[in-house]
Copies of this chain bind each other. A is one copy, B any other.
Amino acid sequence: MCEANAYLRQDGKEEVIMEMVDKVIPEADGLVLEDIFGRRKQIKARIAELALVDHRIILEKHDQ
């Protein structure tokens, strides 16, 4: 399976906010993350970087 973990980068640290993410859908005010079980999470952030081979999705808050 080629899901990834989503991390929120803040103050130079990275915190896992969702594991086994399948889908990421940008919306007007942020992102919707959906994991491989179909569980969804909305977050007011944007994609800072994808590193798929490392299974990493790095997010940042809008105001950074």
Contact = CB atoms under 8 A, between A and B. Distances in A.
Interface of A: 1-4, 21-26, 36, 46-53, 55, 57
Stoichiometry, as copies per complex, reads: 2
* Chain A interface, DSSP helix/strand/loop, else mixed: strand
A21 B51 CA distance: 9
19 contacts: A1-B53, A2-B4, A2-B52, A2-B53, A2-B55, A3-B53, A21-B52, A22-B52, A23-B49, A23-B51, A23-B52, A24-B47, A24-B49, A24-B50, A25-B50, A26-B48, A26-B49, A50-B57, A52-B52
B49 A25 contact: yes
A18 to B, nearest CB: 12
